Structure 1
Amino acid sequence: MHRKSLIERLAILADAAKYDASCASSGTSKRTSQGGKGIGSTEGMGICHAYAPDGRCISLLKILLTNHCVFDCHYCINRKSSNVERARFTPQEVVDLTLSFYRRNYIEGLFLSSGIVKSGNHTMEQLVEVARLLREEHDFRGYIHLKTIPEADPELIAQAGLYADRVSINVELPTDTGLTRLAPDKDARQIEGAMGGVKSAIAEAREAKTKFRHAPRFAPAGQSTQMIVGADAASDVDIVGKASSLYDRFRLRRVYYSAFSPIPDASAVLPLKRPPLIREHRLYQSDWLMRFYDFRPDEVMAATGADGMLPLDIDPKLAWALRFRDRFPLDVNTAPREMLLRVPGLGVRAVNAIVAARRQRTLRLDDIARLTVSISRVRPFLVTPDWRPTLLTDRADLRAQLAPPAEQLELFAA
């Protein structure tokens, strides 16, 4: 039997990892080592795989340890009953690949996940061993993100947090009903229990750090999770509600949304086609509104239609503004910051600049135009000394006037 080469296995396991979206590296910090001679860095530029909030490109080697799996989740291409080509790395091979890619300036870090082989504990031990070898044997100071196994013992997940910058545990689906139906080997309470354990460990490590300078770090970039969109009947209201609950209960850094993609030899219980990618995009926008624009979950949900779905032709912020037209237009020189954040076309930076500038002088429409990409999108919702949108906010065709061109939406349909 032909034994696959390292390159052949890399091709298989890198491709298999593409279905996991939760690999951004925001929130990490620079590691130090004795004498400053460690290998790796989270600073600088390289091949772009993820972006930090400040715009830095973070290049990651994103692979699975193995795509063998004892679970049979219907939506997963690596499920036990799937007829896919299988491959597996040893921990040392992953370490060697990571260091080799880093030295060639291809990457700045590692995102490592895995199918469940033998058991959750066995798989978690292998993942932890990769991180341990990198940190302890090679003094690797680059970014490490480990996908943890909720079925594994808490002690193993705790070890992962000591070596990794970020850990993540996927909730997989927005509802318990969907998880039971499509991932019968997984348990929602077990997943959330593991997430709660990580949350507590992060909080304890931060508290210890305030008292003891050399207290060990634990997942300093926090934890994240991922939900699959469109594999079950969950509405956007269900998804937004679940995401909000996860943020509140587990202090997550990010919730990632991954549009379901039909897979070879698909189970009969799955949809025949994927949801439009624009739906995934709208969910990310709604997530952004909750995280940075102070929108409450019920406000985002108010932007949905009778079917509980966010509109696809316009973004959720515009949908909310059109639904609550009676709250507009706002006087840009007197409106509170929280309402300015709800003006379509105004970002957080623009709003902060407006609030700061109006303390010094009265702002006019030209001042606002310099802070936004499209003043035509903003004008129906604002009043300045030289501009008042007479009858504009009440126009029946305002939605059509402000919606993006059809060709922009078609980019997501390809």
Structure 2
Amino acid sequence: MNIDRIQEKLEILADAAKYDVSCSSSGGNRKNKNGGLGDSHASGICHSYTEDGRCVSLLKILLTNHCIYDCAYCVSRKSNDIKRAAFTVEEVVDLTINFYRRNFIEGLFLSSGIFTDSDTTMERLVRVAKKLRTEHKFNGYIHLKSIPGASDEIMREAGLYADRLSVNLEIPTEKGLKLLAPEKSHSEMIKPMTYVKNELILYKDERKIFKKVPKFAPAGQSTQMIVGATDETDFKIIKVADHFYKNFNLKRVYYSGYVPMLEDARLPSIHSQVPMVRENRLYQADWLMRFYGFKADEILDRSNPFLDLEVDPKLAWSLRHLEQFPVNVNTAPKEMLLRIPGVGTKSVRKILMARKFQKLNLDHLKKIGVAINRAKYFVEFESHNVFTNFIDHQNFRKIILDTTKSKFTSPFSEQLTLF
């Protein structure tokens, strides 16, 4: 093995993979057995993120950056003059095993440029996963990027060896995709997503009947959308995400702010960059839909199509609906408690349990872990709210911003203390 050449390939193909953020390693439950290597049970996966939020707990690489497509937004586009490289199946397997044994990684995230055709590319990715599982008894986490256009037979095999599968929508709308990647279509991307969704349902039903049913993508599937390469509004983006959550049972939708790197008249200026805070707000809006009971149309609408970059989406909703507040913490239903700024899902569970035994006050909420600096303006404990009675609602927004620093939270703080 030429160590220098492998190192050069690794540098090229790891760098090319950094723009794909849909590599969370959560949700796997593949336990070690028969003296195998690794364990992707949820408690066995460690998460490490760089300052800009990129996941580094996995060996995250492309099989190759050779590609037959010329997508305007992609650094690996065929017309881009960059260094090209390709791993063999054996090289990826050896790297994964060696890095795991040296405690550098907990699993593998493997994507690829599309070479020759979709089936050939996907088959090569599946061979890596199959070799790890069957020959090396590797039970660590494996995330494979599904290749649009790959056959159902290959997708089925991928699901049997990978913990998670994902197909990137890339651009939120078909119109935007046709502008920047005219050779691609959302219909081709949706086909493998539909297949995986149906297989997940089938395997779940079969497990109710038969004891020994093989795992099929136990960590589900995810997707990613590029934000800011085209002119879609935040409202359109979260509506698209909402559609895929409801109709494809996705585990996650990831949002990646477009990073200018190529001169192209179809793209934003090379000197402009999507603010990281916009990416942050989309993740927060996503969190509201998934865990807080908000509908996409509540967060934004056509008359208000962009997320407020100064305040998080829950606070923005609350400021638009002051008639819903204050909320009586001791009597309000769970659904309304979840809408109080500064109150997260764990805090709501604690509130519902604690109020069975005593009347709660502000000190209790503080001990529970509620962000009092903002929640205090939206709650009451007796017949009236001593806080909002004296607030000029025209200055309400300014008062809250002056008394909280949560708007400076890191863009990838998904536990969202803002809520």
TM-score normalised over the length of structure 1: 0.92
Per the TM alignment, residue 85 of structure 1 is displaced from its structure 2 partner at its CA by 1.1
Q: Distance in 2 between matches of 1:350 and 1:394?
A: 28
Q: For 1:62-94, what per-residue CA distance to the aligned partner results, in whole angstroms no more than 9, with x for missing partners? A: 000001100111110101111111111001100
Matches within 5 A, 1:6-405: 6-34=6-34, 37-42=35-40, 43-44=43-44, 48-49=48-49, 59-263=57-261, 265-272=262-269, 273-302=272-301, 306=303, 308-372=305-369, 374-385=371-382, 388-392=386-390, 394-403=392-401
Verify the 8 A CA contact 2:146 2:192 in the aligned structure 1.
Answer: no
Verify the 8 A CA contact 2:311 2:407 in the aligned structure 1.
Answer: no
Per the TM alignment, residue 6 of structure 1 is displaced from its structure 2 partner at its CA by 0.1
The one-letter code of the counterpart of 1:330 is V
Distance 1:345 1:393, change over 3 A: farther
Q: For 1:17-68, what per-residue CA distance to the aligned partner results, in whole angstroms no more than 9, with x for missing partners? A: 000010001211032433xx10112244657259xxxxxx982100000011
SS of the residue 2:332 aligns to: coil
Q: How many residues align?
A: 400
RMSD of aligned Cα (Å) = 2.2
Verify the 8 A CA contact 2:343 2:371 in the aligned structure 1.
Answer: no
Verify the 8 A CA contact 2:164 2:221 in the aligned structure 1.
Answer: yes
Per the TM alignment, residue 411 of structure 1 is displaced from its structure 2 partner at its CA by 7.0
Q: Distance in 2 between matches of 1:373 and 1:355?
A: 13
Aligned to 2:414: none
Of stretches 390-399 and 132-141 in structure 1, the one that deviates more from structure 2 is 390-399
Per the TM alignment, residue 401 of structure 1 is displaced from its structure 2 partner at its CA by 2.1
Aligned to 2:415: none
Distance 1:11 1:47, change over 3 A: farther
Distance 1:75 1:159, change over 3 A: same
Per the TM alignment, residue 267 of structure 1 is displaced from its structure 2 partner at its CA by 1.9
- 5+ unaligned residues in a row in structure 2: which ranges? 412-419
Where in structure 1 do 4 or more consecutive aligned residues deviate above 6 Å?
404-407
Distance 1:327 1:410, change over 3 A: closer
Verify the 8 A CA contact 1:68 1:86 in the aligned structure 2.
Answer: yes
Verify the 8 A CA contact 1:112 1:147 in the aligned structure 2.
Answer: yes
The one-letter code of the counterpart of 2:154 is L
Q: Distance in 2 between matches of 1:46 and 1:193?
A: 32
The one-letter code of the counterpart of 1:348 is T
Distance 1:332 1:18, change over 3 A: same
Per the TM alignment, residue 410 of structure 1 is displaced from its structure 2 partner at its CA by 9.9
TM-score normalised over the length of structure 2: 0.91
The one-letter code of the counterpart of 2:352 is V
Verify the 8 A CA contact 1:325 1:394 in the aligned structure 2.
Answer: no
Per the TM alignment, residue 339 of structure 1 is displaced from its structure 2 partner at its CA by 0.7
- 5+ unaligned residues in a row in structure 1: which ranges? 51-56
Q: Distance in 2 between matches of 1:211 and 1:140?
A: 28
